[in-house]
Amino acid sequence: MAHAIWSGAINFGLVTISVKLFTAVRTNELRFNFLHKQDDGRIFNERHCTVCGEKVEYGDLVRGYEYEKSHYVTLSDDDFKSVRPEATQSVDIVEFVELDKINPMYFDTPYYLEPEKKSRHAYALLRESLREANKVGIARVVIRSREHLAALKPNGDALVLELMHFADEIVEQSDFDFPELKEKVAPAELKMAKMLIDSMSNETFEAEKFHDDYREAVMAMIDARVAGEQVAVPEMKRPAATNVVNLMDVLQRSLEQSKHGAATAARPKAAAAAKPAAKKSATAAKPKRKKSAA
Amino acid sequence: MAPVKSQLTVGGRTLAVTNLDKVLWPRDGYTKGDLIAYYRAVAKWLLPHVRKRPLTLERYPNGIDEAGWWEKHIPRGLPAWVRTVKIAASTRDEKIEFIVCDDEATLAYVANLAAVVLHVWYSHEPTLDVPDFILLDLDAGEGCTLATLARVALAARDELAAAGVTPLVKTTGGSGLHVVVPLAPRYDWDQAKGFAELIARRLHAVEPDRTTLDRTIARRPHGTVYLDYVQVGKGKTYVAPFSVRPRDHAPVSMPVAWSEIEAMGRKRAKGTAAEMTRWNIRNVPKLLAQGGDCWTEGWKPHRLETVIAAARSLWS
């Protein structure tokens, strides 16, 4: 189970619903370290000052805001602290709005709110009443010392808190040259285009159908290199040679621990059925498959 | 150009097979049809080794001279009857849906995907966190003779035998050998890995000149066998017994009796790869029909407590 960002409450009117806040999306971004081509050594960055040329430690850094070229206003940690919002740990609903009235471009990152035991009923009540009214709660929330605008939406069994952009973060459409609504399209053309859309239409959106092909291709390449031992192990990072006696000691200790612990309790009985020596018929569990990804 | 399609009925399942005449081994002329026929012919012996285990495919649809790729995720258009399992396969968070190959029809299906090599997990359903064997990969490096490889393998057998272990051995189909020790299903990944490392380090101690533990290829001494003990772990895989390899003459990863390794030790071959092609998709079905799978008899799960107790006085 993921770690809660905070435990707090949804507040509106006189109602308080105790909840925990969790992230609802994970980033599957590929992460790489830079290595030195010649010897696979890890690279680390050193900060150098452009005035004195000295190497600068983290503690000697201060943040500067460049208000015009080469002119800075410096802000200290205390300055930031003085304007930081109070860590309220609450979702304060300020109003309710019909979902269709919000431009979807405002929605940014979703979070889950999970009710505490005592608030399960109130949670379900809020979720269902929002659903029936087709409304969402507009709220203020502080996450990781930043205040955000957010929408509280029913989503399946959950209440999802979706952080929203502030109005000035959205680039205006008037900055671009889009054809106007009243620009003429011939009815016949429209009919043709609609037919094409119908022929490519799907009842539902199946997210599982789509994969991050680039990521999968890179990971496949990495897996193949690991399997083919085309790996880099920087010399300095290798652990000191472990000797046989030490390894036996470690292993024995681990075996003794699991003897008293839970590991043996979970010992599988079914394992015997699947070992290669067992001559069992080929029938296994009933094929259970979700919808095929066509 | 539309692919040439036909239908195949295997174990009550009808599946579409395509481009059976496509040559996958250009210098041998073996086709995709030959690959499917091979996997069906050895299904009886191969399936016990892959059943209930998450499967990774190594596919070569354009033949072995073109780059192949590894596929863990189920391919698009997977027939509904193919069984799958969804698991978080490693430290990476996302879940992967793997094919599980339980029957001949699934085997024929993956062969039709030009899955030349079948890689499977060290554990099986429903206990995917319990490895039931460990593997020591004896990888013959550049300049390593067949006799050296055999000698290292036999040293592994003898060291293990002294500690009461009867290991199994198979060719990799590449240039090395896989030494396998079946485990009682009661240990976790760290214990299995620790045991594999222990064997590797003991073997390096008794054969210091013929073996290396260096993971960086460029630093391995010429003519040595690299002892790879880091292949075991959750989400890691090994080449399944009777899997084919994407090399000339279509060699097969073949479980063999230790007497075969003793015979290798008496040969004068400079390299090891040629010997591995002795078992290939042409003759393995016949060999199995005659002699069966020598691992069936030899697969005896070991308890690490007993092994360590025995090894303690010998290896200290």
Complex prediction ipTM = 0.80
- Residue A226 CA: distances (Å) to CA of A40, A229, A233, B240, B286: 15, 5, 12, 17, 34
Band of residue B216 on the pLDDT scale cut at 50, 70, 90: confident
The answer to whether B5-121 and B133-235+249-315 have equal CATH topology is yes
| Residue A277 to chain B, least CA–CA distance (Å) | 5
What's the gap in Å between the CA of A168 and the closest CA on chain B? 35
Contact yes or no for A251/B198 (Cβ under 8 A): yes
Of A28, A271, A280, the CB nearest to B132: A271
User: What's the confidence (pLDDT) of residue A271?
Assistant: 42
Q: Which residue in the set B100, B132, B315 is minimally distant from A275, CB to CB?
A: B132
Number of Cβ pairs < 8 A linking chain A and chain B: 159
Query: Is B5-121 assigned to CATH 3.40.50.300?
Result: no
Residue A3 has what pLDDT? 82
Residue B15 has pLDDT above 90, yes or no: yes
pLDDT above 80: residue A263: no
pLDDT at position B140 over 60: yes
Question: Phi and psi of B190, rounded to 5°?
Answer: -65, -40
In the predicted structure, residue A267 carries a pLDDT above the cut 50: no
Per-chain mean pLDDT for chain A: 82
Round to whole Å and give the CA distance between B144 and B209. 12
The pLDDT-based confidence of B99 (bands split at 50, 70, 90) is very high
Nearest by CB to residue B194, choosing from A230, A247, A274, is A247
Mean pLDDT of chain B: 93
> Does domain A6-27+84-169 correspond to CATH entry 1.10.10.1100?
no
The one-character DSSP state at B252 is B
Is residue A84 pLDDT above 90, yes or no? no
| φ, ψ at A11 (rounded to 5°) | -120, 130
Spell out the domain ranges in chain A: 6-27+84-169
Give whole-number Cα distances, A44 to A47, A56, A80, A241, in Å: 10, 14, 28, 26
Q: Where are the domains of chain B?
A: 5-121, 133-235+249-315
Q: Is the pLDDT of residue A43 over 90?
A: no
Give percent of chain A with pLDDT exceeding 90: 37
Which two tokens mark B266?
């008496």
pLDDT at position A185 over 90: no
Q: Are the Cβ atoms of A216 and B73 closer than 8 angstroms?
A: yes
Mean pLDDT for B112-118 is 97
Percent with pLDDT over 70 in chain A: 84
CA A160 from centroid of its chain's CA atoms: 14
- Is residue A293 predicted with pLDDT exceeding 60? no
**What are the chain B neighbours of A275 within 8 Å (beta carbons)?**
48, 132, 182, 299, 301
CA distance, residue B28 to nearest chain A CA (Å): 24
- Report DSSP state, residue B27: T
Query: Is pLDDT at A114 greater than 70 in this prediction?
Result: yes
Rounded to an integer, the average pLDDT of A123-141 is 95
Cβ pair A288:B83 closer than 8 A:
yes
Contact B82 A232 (CB under 8 A): no
When scoring A223, A253, A257 by the number of chain B Cβ atoms within 10 A, the one with the most, hence best to mutate, is: A223
Q: Which residues of B touch A211 (CB under 8 A)?
A: 73
Q: What is the mean pLDDT of residues B36-62?
A: 97
Most confident of A173-177, A227-231, B292-296: B292-296
Three-state DSSP at B168 gives: strand
- What b/e string do you get for A263-276 counting C-beta neighbours within 10 Å, with b at 16 or more? beeeebeebeebbb
Give the nearest partner residue to B308 out of A230, A251, A274, using CB atoms: A251
Cα(B182)–Cα(B191) distance, integer angstroms: 13
pLDDT the model gives residue A260: 61
From chain B, the residues in CB contact with A232 under 8 A are 216
Q: Band of the pLDDT at A262, cuts 50, 70, 90?
A: very low
DSSP secondary structure letter of residue B125:
T
Q: How far apart are CA B34 and CA B173, in angstroms?
A: 18
Give A80 or B93, the one with higher predicted confidence: A80
Confidence class for position A290, pLDDT limits 50, 70, 90:
very low
Beta-carbon separation of B187 and A258 below 8 A: yes
Q: At residue A237, does pLDDT exceed 80? A: no
> Which residues of chain B make contact with A230, given a CB cutoff of 8 A?
217
Question: Residue B135: enclosing H or E segment and its boundaries?
Answer: strand B133-140
pLDDT: is A108 or A209 the higher one? A108
Residue A266 has pLDDT above 70, yes or no: no
Cis peptide before A104 (omega within 30 of 0): no
Chain B residues closer than 8 Å to A271 by CB: 124, 127, 130, 132, 185
Is-above-0.95 flag for pTM? no
pLDDT value, residue B136: 96
Per-residue pLDDT, averaged over A252-275, amounts to 58
CATH topology of domain B133-235+249-315: DNA primase, PRIM domain (3.90.920)
pLDDT of A279:
41
pLDDT average, residue stretch B79-98: 82
B81 to chain A: which residues are within 8 Å by CB?
287, 289
| Residue of A208, A281, A289, A290 for testing the chain B interface, max B β-carbons within 10 Å | A289
pLDDT in tens, B248-281: 999 999 999 999 999 999 998 888 988 999 999 9
Q: Residue B95 — very low, low, confident or very high, per pLDDT cuts 50/70/90? A: confident
Residue B174: both structure tokens together? 């590449």
Answer whether A113's CB lies under 8 Å from A107's CB: no
Ranking A186-195, A204-213, B42-51, B233-242 by mean pLDDT, the lowest is: A204-213
